[in-house]
Structure 1
Amino acid sequence: MQPDPEDRYTEAEPANSRSALPLIIGGILLVIGVAVWFIFSGEESEPAPPPPAPEKPAVEVQEPEPELPPAPDIPEPEPTLPEEPNKPVAPVPEPEPALTLEDSDDVVRDMLAPTNPSDIVSSALLNENLLERSAALVDGFSRGAVLTKVLPLPEPAGDFAIIEQNGVAVIDPASYSRYDKYADAVASIDPDLLANSFHRFRPLLEQAYAGLGYDPEDFDNALIRSLDRVLDTPTIDAPLPVVKYEAIYQYADPELEQRPDLQKQLLRMGPENLETIKSQAAALRRALLSPPPAM
């Protein structure tokens, strides 16, 4: 039995804790950590009520969707070639102390902060234990889960709303604009820099992943699987019908309702923001699976 990654973090949730929506792609991962997190941390668990409508039956539980195909390995950097035998050898400087998880936060901030002036990224980087949080987020996303306690971020402005169209309750398209700045923050991130950051911090990320009870060598597969979860989210241009079940709203389409929580949250961003997130996820996936530079 694997430990629950959220058990390692003890921050109290806000009094009006939201079910998710400031994260995926983002960082190393703050991006995968910080991007999807942009999307989810801070969403109301119950949106604003719609106009009175007839009570709808609960959505029928469907068979779970097929699992994603196995994620490929992210290639390791090639070792640096040895110097030619007769070539003069430059003096070797004193090696810097090896970076550890305990002292990695400042290095992560220095590497990622200049790339994205967004207040969302800046807020994420104020947290401590960034690599451990990133590993926990990647673990959750790889399973389609949204771990709402792991990376606190600012909540979206305004309220998530339901309206009625032709007698059907749907997500108010005006609510999508609440997530524009989160999608813009993800769009401003350089996927190649993130891939290079992954290789820089890979040993520590694998160590943090092992701390959750997993094989450290599986971390790269979990990261690719997280991106595949994002890319597998359908882009739907039409209004999304919902039905109220007890105190929450569910998608009226059983195929959508049976999808992982991560994808159901991404759908709430609206089709344009979702396409922005998916485009960055695809670019980061390509960068990670490209041969890295020699180290």
Structure 2
Amino acid sequence: MPPPNTPPASTAGPPWWLVLLAIAAIAGGVYLWQRDTPKPVPPATTAPAQGTAPAAADAAPAPAQPTETVPPVPAPVADGPKFPLPGTVPDAASMPPADRSDAPILEALLALAKRDALGQVLNMQDFARRFVVTVDHLPRQLIPAQLSAVKRVPGQLAVAPAGDSLTLQPGNYARYDAFVRLAESLDPKTMVSIYLRFYPLLQQEYRAMGFPQGHFNDRVVEAIDDMLTAPEVSGPIRLVQPQVNYKFVDPLLEKLSAGRKIMIRIGPEHAAKMKKALRALRAELVR
């Protein structure tokens, strides 16, 4: 069930933002997964597809069990957060209005990467809201394409015919090289410092989405934990294309969250690097 005030989910697919989500991190890279669906030429009168069906994986190689165990969740205190913030945050009154927050957020992000690198990956307009929406939807099945914090991955999904289905080609993983390199280069301490600096604004956006008692930091950790338990798939990943978007042939893969699907789509080597970055980020968020 989508959150109360969230727009309908759409298709698309994202990447390193998994870690950027990492700013609340990636997260992945999730939007990567949905938004990245290749686009065969649809009829001119057909409206853009909504809802991104991630690349499908084949039923033969059943997904392995989660590759790691997520640390136990501390018991929340009354209505308090499950995961207390790892540091102090500014007073909410000191936050810029949401509609004027893009410039100060971008300035802060320049401590992580150069402006050009950020511009290639992030949708900076209305970034606070986009970031919150993307993080919140990583553990769900779809991310609203129109509100993704991450831009679409360049190129088209590489597939090859395989009987009555298609096979995801390993060469496709190279499309995520730049995103993964950037994610690996991000310093988790600096990311968390920026995150805490703007946390009151992010919390405000999260509650405005329809979670009046929610704690955004809890959702960030949940999104990271969800991606960390993404299965490793052995063998070819088979897809079908019932309409415009691709789906996994394997129903177990098709049911995975957007964040876990991203980890499959970027390939095992990239997924291992992303999980390492996410673990480092989680360690800074949960002390």
Aligned to 2:265: 268
SS in structure 2 of the partner of residue 273 of structure 1: helix
The match for 2:223 among 218, 221, 226 is 226
In 1, distance between residues paired with 2:72 and 2:159?
A: 37
Deviation at 1:219, TM superposition (A): 1.3
The match for 2:18 among 11, 24, 28 is 24
Residue pairs, 1:233-272, within 5 angstroms = 233-272=230-269
Q: Aligned in 2, Cα 1:47/1:186: closer, same or farther, shift over 3 Å?
A: farther
The structure with the largest alpha-carbon Rg is 1
- Alpha-carbon RMSD across the aligned residues, in angstroms, is 3.7
In 2, distance between residues paired with 1:255 and 1:77?
A: 35
In 2, distance between residues paired with 1:78 and 1:215?
A: 22
Residue pairs, 1:177-188, within 5 angstroms = 177-188=174-185
% identical equivalent positions: 24
Higher relative contact order (CA 8 A, sep 6+): 2
* Larger displacement relative to structure 2 (168-177 or 179-188): 168-177
SS in structure 2 of the partner of residue 149 of structure 1: helix
* Larger displacement relative to structure 2 (159-168 or 101-110): 159-168
Deviation at 1:289, TM superposition (A): 0.3
Structure 1 contact 20–39 (Cα < 8 Å) conserved: yes
Residue pairs, 1:1-295, within 5 angstroms = 2-6=3-7, 19-22=12-15, 23-27=17-21, 29=23, 31-32=25-26, 35-36=28-29, 39-40=32-33, 42-46=35-39, 72=74, 73-76=82-85, 98-102=94-98, 103-117=100-114, 119-123=116-120, 127-151=124-148, 153-164=150-161, 169-215=166-212, 217-290=214-287
In 2, distance between residues paired with 1:211 and 1:139?
A: 13
Structure 2 contact 232–268 (Cα < 8 Å) conserved: yes
Structure 1 contact 171–239 (Cα < 8 Å) conserved: yes
Gaps of 5+ in 1: 10-16, 49-58, 60-67, 80-94, 291-295
Structure 1 contact 143–226 (Cα < 8 Å) conserved: no
What TM-score, normalized to structure 1? Answer: 0.70
Structure 2 contact 160–166 (Cα < 8 Å) conserved: yes
In 2, distance between residues paired with 1:100 and 1:116?
A: 22
What is the number of equivalent residue pairs in this alignment?
250
One-letter code aligned to 2:83 = I
Deviation at 1:165, TM superposition (A): 6.1
Structure 1 contact 266–274 (Cα < 8 Å) conserved: yes
Deviation at 1:185, TM superposition (A): 1.6
Structure 1 contact 136–150 (Cα < 8 Å) conserved: yes
| Deviation string, structure 1 residues 273-294 (Cα, Å, up to 9, x no partner) | 122221111111111002xxxx
Deviation at 1:220, TM superposition (A): 1.5
Gaps of 5+ in 2: 42-58, 60-69, 75-81
In 2, distance between residues paired with 1:47 and 1:272?
A: 28
* Larger displacement relative to structure 2 (103-112 or 245-254): 245-254
SS in structure 1 of the partner of residue 247 of structure 2: strand
| Deviation string, structure 1 residues 59-103 (Cα, Å, up to 9, x no partner) | 8xxxxxxxx999553324677xxxxxxxxxxxxxxx9x8223334
